[in-house]
């Protein structure tokens, strides 16, 4: 599954909250969603934290995102997931991210090494970079480029705003994904809604172009 958490700036404006408060609440909601997905026997979830283009945003907003992400990596993940079952991996241009963010991400990667539930986090991510890296890896290993991607195919993508955009989220892996664009903001999404979305997906036939 793929998760595109979105709408925190609008939620902050509508609720008289600061960006820091909005993004921290968003990190907690993402964690709740991940817990629900694990309970629903989803094996891998990729969360869109920051695109490469997002890094051009105002420093105040980026610091709010970084603070929430550090809380996510350092506090929320260890508190809610078994390190013997769950793994965490960061994907993207690490050289574009600040050291305090990277330190928290490395801590989560080191601590969480299970094979039952994988959480991929995209940060400073650009699909063109991913494609170039996969091409280089495929040539080095002598394999098909489809086998050189670190993240496999995605079946279902949930974005927590109604705008029908992927915003560069794993385009190769999402070729046959079902796309859901929600009207409920991330910070107001309830776990029961996530359960319902997964159940609806599983009831529908998945033809993948056949």
Mean pLDDT of the residues in the chain: 95
- Would you say residue 44 lies in a domain? yes
The predicted pLDDT at position 210 comes to: 67
Q: Is residue 139 part of a domain?
A: yes
* Tens digits of residue pLDDT in 99-122: 999 999 999 999 999 999 999 999
Residue 131 has pLDDT above 90, yes or no: yes
Question: Is 114 inside any structural domain?
Answer: yes
Q: Which residue has the tokens 């490469």?
A: 52
- Whether 210 is in a domain gets the answer no
CATH number of residue 82's parent domain: 3.40.1180.10
Domain encompassing residue 179? 2-203
Does the residue 17 lie in any domain? Answer: yes
Averaged over 91-101, what is the pLDDT?
A: 97
Is 209 part of a structural domain of the chain? Answer: no
Q: What phi, psi does 65 have (nearest 5°)?
A: -65, -45
Within-domain flag for 104: yes
pLDDT the model gives residue 205: 78
**Model confidence at 204, in pLDDT bands (50, 70, 90)?**
confident
Condensed to tens digits (0 to 9), the pLDDT of residues 137-181 reads: 999 999 999 999 999 999 999 999 999 999 999 999 999 999 999
Pick from 51, 32, 67: which is nearest to 124 by CA? 51
Strands (E), the chain: 2-4, 44-48, 86-91, 117-122, 156-159, 178-181
Domain annotation covers residue 60: yes
Distance of alpha carbon 146 from alpha carbon 141, whole angstroms: 12
Q: Are strands 44-48 and 117-122 parallel, antiparallel or unpaired?
A: parallel
H/E run at residue 136: helix 127-141
Domains contained in the chain, number: 1
């Amino acid at each position: 599954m793929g998760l595109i958490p979105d709408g925190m700036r609008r939620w902050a404006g509508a609720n008289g909250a600061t960006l820091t408060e909005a993004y921290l609440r968003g990190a907690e909601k993402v964690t709740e969603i991940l817990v629900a997905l694990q309970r629903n026997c989803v094996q891998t979830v990729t969360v869109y934290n920051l695109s490469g283009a997002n890094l051009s945003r105002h420093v105040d907003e980026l610091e709010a995102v970084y603070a929430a992400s550090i809380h996510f990596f350092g506090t929320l993940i260890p508190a809610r997931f078994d390190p013997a079952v769950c793994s965490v991996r960061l994907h993207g241009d690490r050289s574009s991210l600040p050291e305090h963010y990277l330190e928290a991400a490395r801590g989560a990667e080191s601590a969480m090494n299970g094979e039952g539930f994988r959480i991929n986090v995209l940060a400073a991510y650009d699909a063109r970079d991913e494609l170039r890296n996969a091409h280089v890896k495929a040539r080095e290993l002598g394999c098909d480029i489809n086998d050189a991607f670190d993240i496999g195919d995605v079946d279902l993508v949930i974005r927590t705003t109604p705008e029908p955009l992927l915003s560069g989220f794993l385009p190769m892996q999402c070729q046959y994904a079902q796309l859901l664009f929600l009207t409920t903001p991330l910070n107001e999404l309830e776990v029961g809604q996530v359960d319902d979305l997964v159940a609806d997906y599983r009831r529908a036939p998945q033809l993948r172009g056949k």
